[in-house]
Amino acid sequence: MTTRTDDESTAVRLRWAVTDAWTVAGRDVAHWRRQPAAVLVGALFPVLLLLMFVYLLGGGMVVPGGGDYRDFLVPGMLALAMVFGVEATMTAVVTDTARGITDRFRSLPMAPSAVVAGRCLADMAASVVGLVVLVGAALAIGWRPAGVGRALVAVGLLLLLRLAFLWIGIYLGLLTRDPATVTAVQILVWPFAFLSNAFVAASSMPGWLATVAEWNPVAGTVTAVRELLGAPVGTGGGWATEHALLLSVAWPVVLTVVFAVLGVRRFQGLSR
Q: State the Cα angle at 103 between 30 and 109, rounded to 5°.
A: 85
Provide the whole-model pTM: 0.86
CA pair distance 194, 215, nearest whole angstrom: 13
Spatial contact of 73 and 59, defined as CB atoms under 8 Å apart: no
Cα–Cα distances (Å) from 6 to 2, 9, 10, in that order, read: 6, 5, 6
Query: Is residue 181 predicted with pLDDT exceeding 50?
Result: yes
CA pair distance 51, 48, nearest whole angstrom: 5
Query: Is residue 253 predicted with pLDDT exceeding 50?
Result: yes
Residues 6-47: tens digit of each pLDDT: 555 666 667 777 777 777 777 777 767 777 777 777 788 899
Cα–Cα distances (Å) from 254 to 150, 200, 245, 257, in that order, read: 24, 26, 15, 5
CA pair distance 198, 72, nearest whole angstrom: 8
188: containing domain: 2-268
Using DSSP, how many helices (H) and how many strands (E) does the chain show?
12, 0
Q: State the Cα angle at 101 between 86 and 177, rounded to 5°.
A: 50
Residues 61-90: tens digit of each pLDDT: 888 877 889 999 999 999 999 998 788 888
The pLDDT of 213-230, averaged and rounded, is 92
CA pair distance 182, 259, nearest whole angstrom: 17
Beta-carbon contacts of residue 127 (< 8 Å; ≥ 6 apart) = 81, 82, 85, 159, 162, 166
CA pair distance 129, 156, nearest whole angstrom: 14
CA pair distance 59, 82, nearest whole angstrom: 26
Number of domains in the chain: 1
Residues 158-167: tens digit of each pLDDT: 999 999 999 9
Residues in the chain: 272
